[in-house]
Amino acid sequence: MQHKNSHINSAIKTIETEIEGLKSLIDFFDEKYIKTVDLILNCKGRVIISGMGKSGHIANKISATFASTGTPAFFIHPAEASHGDLGMITSQDIVILLSNSGETKELRDIIFYCKRFEIPLIGIVRRAESELAKSSTVALILP
């Protein structure tokens, strides 16, 4: 019986941790969030989403969700982007990059491409002083 209780206690602790994480997002919804939503709603092209590693898995899921709910979107792998796939991004698109550190070297070519062609870039990142945050049209800083 003690064994079963430890499993239940672990599950409850996990849920409590997730609740605290969600509560920390309440202050996240500000003018930057509104600007992000406006950029997406007014996009005449597609929403291009990218990230590396775990952030890439999340980016891929976000792009699939956008696409399945009627927003033209696709995931671009940052390493593939650096080897020819940047041409898939047009001036009508917006780009969303996800990165925990904001210093992911594989994202740099996408960042520079967006700057060069004045493509709106939304950075979702944890570090406000990162290269990604500083280079973004809108930087959403996660708690």
Reading the chain (143 residues) residue by residue, the pLDDT tens digits are 566 789 999 999 999 999 999 998 888 889 999 999 999 999 999 999 999 999 999 999 999 999 999 999 999 999 999 898 999 999 999 999 999 999 999 999 999 999 999 999 999 999 999 999 999 999 999 98
Spatial CB neighbours of 68, under 8 Å, sequence gap ≥ 6: none
pLDDT at 28: 83
Integer Cα distance of 19 and 36 in angstroms: 25
Q: pLDDT at position 22, please?
A: 93
Angle at 106 between CA 82 and CA 98, to 5 degrees: 115
Task: Determine the pLDDT at residue 1.
Answer: 54
Specify the pLDDT at position 5.
85
Whether the CB-CB separation of 92 and 66 falls below 8 Å is answered with: no
pLDDT at 27: 83
Instruction: Look at residue 2 in the predicted model and tell me its pLDDT.
Output: 62
pTM for the full model?
0.90
Residues 110-116: contacts with CB within 8 Å, 24+ apart? 110/50, 110/76, 110/78, 110/81, 110/82, 110/86, 111/135, 113/81, 113/86, 113/89, 114/89
